[in-house]
Structure 1
Amino acid sequence: MSEVFSESTVVNENIEEVWGFLIDMEENASKWMPNIPYMKKSSTGQVNNGTSFTFKARGKEQTSTITQFNPNEKFTLTSIQGDFRADYTYSLTKQADNTTKVSLVAKCEASGMMKMVAPLIKIAIKKADGGQLNTLKKVIEKGK
């Protein structure tokens, strides 16, 4: 699996508030993911490892599942579309001044026929999803 892009920012809010905002995908994802008009939980229970979400991106309805979940620390959203897999790992680190560093690492893997178009898909993903964390920072800090 190769890294497509990574980014980080510091949000002027405590880690619990940032985590709560991030993990409440149904309410907040469309506010900080500019190309996602909605995200709906498609599994029952509390958000945790294995929770699935349905969302619209690039004109198609897709599904993403949390494949790693460490509260107030990190979670990974994994989307698989045919022979293409994308993992978005969001990590939170408490800073000394009670702010929160948020990092995102996007990794993708293609197999089969998708290997031929993988470079183009990776460019499209970076263009569409790069900058998420700057938007996240603005939305959370504006709500203070």
Structure 2
Amino acid sequence: MLEPMGNEGQVMAQAFSVEEVIQRPAPQVWEALTDWPSAHRWMPGIESMTAEGETAEGTKLTFRARGADRSSTIAQCDLGRSIVLRSVQGGVTADYTYEVHEFDEDSARVTLVANCQITGLWWSLVSPLLCVAVRLSDGKQLRLLKAMVEGG
């Protein structure tokens, strides 16, 4: 769904929202979620990822995706509970919000919401296609994380 933003020519679009229950304790799921060198195992298209510091607000993540070096920043972080990864490319700012909640003592409920802020006429015109592409590419992240964490 597209929503006009406050500034002229900006649009906010939610690309997707997904949820999984992972049969491992929440701290173990959080550890796997923020193990950046292992991100390639559950983030489609990522070949490698490194963090320039601890998992904290402001830390830059550098990753290789589809043959190109890119970066993301931890825009928000509540250790053990939630993290927002922000990437900017051209007129698109993508925020991926991950939340980990204890479901019971042996499992965790994990959610991922991907939002895109789109600036500029061209990006606004292609935003519906962009949202579909993001959903198709990244909408399976939590299923892959679940398989990795539960499979060992």
When the two structures are superposed, what TM-score results if normalisation uses the length of structure 1? 0.91
SS at match of 1:47: coil
* Cα pair 2:19 2:112 within 8 Å, conserved: yes
SS at match of 1:29: helix
What is aligned with 1:65? 73
SS at match of 1:46: coil
Gaps of 5+ in 2: 1-11
Deviation at 1:97, TM superposition (A): 4.0
When the two structures are aligned, how many residues end up with a matched partner? 140
The 5 A counterparts of 1:8-27 are: 8-25=19-36, 27=37
Aligned equivalent of 1:114, options 103, 111, 123 = 123
What is aligned with 2:45? 35
Deviation at 1:134, TM superposition (A): 0.6
Once the two structures are aligned, what percentage of the paired residues are identical? 38
* Cα pair 2:14 2:131 within 8 Å, conserved: no
Aligned equivalent of 1:101, options 109, 114, 118 = 109
Gaps of 5+ in 1: none
The structure with the greater share of residues assigned to strand is: 2
Deviation at 1:54, TM superposition (A): 1.3
What is aligned with 1:136? 145
SS at match of 2:104: coil
- Which stretch of structure 1 is more off in the superposition, 97-106 or 58-67? 58-67
2:136 maps to a residue whose letter is: K
CA 1:58–1:124: 2 relative to 1, 3 Å: farther
What is aligned with 1:47? 55
How far, CA to CA, are the matches of 1:76 and 1:15 in structure 2? 17
1:136 maps to a residue whose letter is: L
Aligned equivalent of 1:74, options 70, 82, 91 = 82
Deviation at 1:34, TM superposition (A): 2.1
SS at match of 1:72: coil
How far, CA to CA, are the matches of 2:90 and 2:82 in structure 1? 26
